[in-house]
């Protein structure tokens, strides 16, 4: 790994704890890596605007790839941006309404949105503090926080550009079938479909994912593919593992995700496994 120049970190399940926060220890290690000359980037399914709520006050990285590769930002400058079409967004929202699949539409320039007409059933789906069944604690708390503080209830979907649509259900079979149909219709809808848990799906612009985002980001910095290292834990990191030269999965990743990587951290995300792995490899 002597040739590593750029490190790309997933957030959920990687550097985020289940309380949806990055620890001070991880932030300090990231700062130390940057001081040592490494470029450190986030590569997340999260929207760009919500990241500031998940990290310590003085947290800094060299660039952020958000919404699974649709937006690349370096020091508040947009390096690349890829939007879903309005027609695709409306079709996916219509399907979600029909099947009562919870959804959040993420415009690039505005707060995430849900149609006002869907207020009753979307809020009813998220009753209770304890996640139902096998839904993850962090995903459940994120949805409840979004409904309470981050969703813009709108009469119509008429924004200019869209980063992604996030879709969620507490019924595993329902979201699995819904996601599978979106995958089948990717070419027709001109979308890319991914998921960061078994209970969600996310749709982005056609042929856009974390892998394409990393490619665009390193081109901006003049870094070569063989100089990249990526760390992730979930299905939306598959494209990242496919592009990155050195690939590391989290200890808490499912076995089929770990099988895609060259190495696995010895500690979980709750134990700051990603940051401590990097400290051991590059700072000791």
| 3-class SS of residue 283 | coil
Which tens digits make up the pLDDT trace of 109-168? 899 999 999 999 999 999 999 999 999 999 999 999 999 999 999 999 999 999 999 999
Instruction: Report the percentage of the chain scoring pLDDT > 90.
Output: 99
pLDDT at 33 over 90: yes
pTM for the whole thing?
0.92
Query: C-alpha angle 75/33/215, rounded to 5°?
Result: 55
Least Cα distance to 240 among 264, 209, 282, 269 occurs for 209
SS3 content of the chain, % helix, strand, coil (to 5): 40, 25, 35
Structure tokens at 232: 């992730």
Distance of CA 154 to the CA centre of its chain: 24
All structural domains of the chain, each given as residue ranges with its CATH number in brackets, are 6-82+209-282 (3.40.50.1000), 86-205 (3.30.1240.10)
Can you give the pLDDT at residue 284?
82
Contact 8, 242 (CB under 8 A): no
Dmax (CA) for the chain in angstroms is 56
| Whole-angstrom distance, CA of residue 74 vs CA of residue 146 | 26
Q: Closest Cα to residue 192, out of 200, 178, 184, 204?
A: 204
Closest to 43 in 3D by CA, of 224, 253, 274, 213: 213
Structure tokens at 183: 């995958």
Confidence band of 269 (pLDDT split at 50, 70, 90) = very high
What residue has token string 């539409």?
A: 105
Sign of the Cα torsion 225, 32, 66, 241 reads positive
Helix and strand element counts for the chain (H, E): 10, 14
Q: How confident is the model at residue 59 (pLDDT cuts 50, 70, 90)?
A: very high
* pLDDT tens profile 176-232: 999 999 999 999 999 999 999 999 999 999 999 999 999 999 999 999 999 999 999
Q: Are 31 and 40 in contact (CB under 8 A)?
A: no
Share of the chain above pLDDT 70, in %: 100
pLDDT in tens, 167-179: 999 999 999 999 9
């Amino acid at each position: 790994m002597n040739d590593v120049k750029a490190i790309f970190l997933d957030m959920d399940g990687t550097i985020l704890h289940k309380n949806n926060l990055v620890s001070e220890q991880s932030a300090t290690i990231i700062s130390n890596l940057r001081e040592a000359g490494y470029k450190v980037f986030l590569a997340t399914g999260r929207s760009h605007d919500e990241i500031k709520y998940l990290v310590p006050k003085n947290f800094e990285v060299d660039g952020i790839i958000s919404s699974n590769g649709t937006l690349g930002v370096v020091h508040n400058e947009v390096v690349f941006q890829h939007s879903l079409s309005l027609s695709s967004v409306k079709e996916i929202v219509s399907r979600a309404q029909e099947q009562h699949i919870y959804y959040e539409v993420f415009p690039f320039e505005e707060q995430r949105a849900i149609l006002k007409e869907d207020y009753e059933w979307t809020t009813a789906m998220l009753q209770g503090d304890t996640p139902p069944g096998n839904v993850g604690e962090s995903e459940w708390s994120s949805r409840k926080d979004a409904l309470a503080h981050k969703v813009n209830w709108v009469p119509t979907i008429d924004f200019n550009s869209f980063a992604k649509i996030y879709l969620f259900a507490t019924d595993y079979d329902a979201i699995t079938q819904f996601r599978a149909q979106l995958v089948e219709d990717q070419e027709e809808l001109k979308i890319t479909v991914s998921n960061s848990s078994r209970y969600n799906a996310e749709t982005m612009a056609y042929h856009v994912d974390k892998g394409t985002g990393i490619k665009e980001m390193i081109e901006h910095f003049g870094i070569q593919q063989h100089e990249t290292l990526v760390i992730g834990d979930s299905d939306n990191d598959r494209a990242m593992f496919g592009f990155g030269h050195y690939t590391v999965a989290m200890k808490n990743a499912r076995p089929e995700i770990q099988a895609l990587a060259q190495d696995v951290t010895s500690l979980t995300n709750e134990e700051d496994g990603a940051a401590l792995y990097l400290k051991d490899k590059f700072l000791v």
